[in-house]
Each structure stands twice: as structure tokens, then as C-alpha cells.
Amino acid sequence: MKSLISSRTRDEDSIAAYRTLRECFGNARGIAAADPAAVEQALARVTFADVKAPRLIEALQAIAAERPDMDLSFLRDLPLPHALAWLERLPGVGRKTAAAVLNFTALDRPILAADTHTARALGRLGLGTTDATRVSERVTAAMPDWTGADFRIFHVQTKRLGKTICHHRAPECRICPLATDCDHARLATTA
């Protein structure tokens, strides 16, 4: 659920909104049965709460229709492309959300959940794209021996780099620990 509400929202706000959802509605089944206006109110701290509330309800209802127990553990045993496809057909679920569900939960699947910060930093380093979906695909494919934990650590570290040094408008290449390996930093110092 948290992955569905976190897009374009600061982590502390999406975590607070997730906690409010749980306090107000108890669990996924409670949210799926809730009034959209009440869910929107619970999500007031997140960006686009008016869009995310009905999508969250629809996604949870779609899961309940196929998996009445709301248990997604079956995704652990599916080939990764099939698990991604199953999640991505849910309302409001794209690659980032699907990858986060597969990696940042007990499913512990080896896949990179790429957000704008990780995609920007890795794109500047020379990955050839800053599109989060493509970054997730390329990094996941390039690291076939990594575990779910490896990808979580990598996500957290590259997100931190993107948020604190490799900013959108004015990256601080001179203090970046990866500057010597970074295409963008090399171009910035020669310009």
C-alpha cells in the first residue's frame, strides 16, 4: 500500500499517511471497503491524494477479487517478469511500485526499485537513461547475482546520493564520491 501512495511525495509524508490509513481502516481489506473521500482525507499529506485514493481502493479490490486472502506471497515463486506483469496491471501500479512491492517487502525479490533520485544519479553516471523504468530494467539485468538486500542497499544509497548531492538542477559534482567515474561530472569540469 505504501508504494502506491509514495509517488512524488516525501518519505516522511507517505509514511505518516500510511500509518493514518492503518489507524483509520485497519488493513488492506478495510481500505478496499472504505469510502474514497475518507481514504483521500487519510492521504491528505501525500501529493495527488485525490487521484491516489480511488486508485488504491481499486487496486486493493482487484487483489481481493483474485486473492481473497489478500496474500501476495505467490509472487515470490513466479518468474520476475510474470510477477511484475501481475502487479503492473493493477490500477496505479507502474514499474517503480511493482519493483518496490517485490523488493521492499517479505517477498525480497532481486529487483531495483528506481525512483527519480536513483534514476537521475545513475543516468548521470553513464547508464544511458534517466527513465526510472529503464534504469530499473538495466540495473536489475546487469546484476543477476545480487540479492534482494543488495538491491535495497543500492537503492537507498543511490537515492541518498540523488537527494543530497546529485540534485536535479545543480548537482554538486565537486563533492560527489563518484565524480571520477561520472560522465556528467567529467563534462561539468571540462565546460
User: What are the catalytic residues?
Assistant: 96, 115
Whether 44 and 37 have beta carbons less than 8 Å apart is answered as no
Report the candidate in 24, 15, 30 with the shortest Cα–Cα distance to residue 42. Answer: 24
Distance CA 108, CA 39 (A): 28
Distance CA 38, CA 97 (A): 23
Whether 91 and 61 have beta carbons less than 8 Å apart is answered as no
Distance CA 120, CA 147 (A): 23
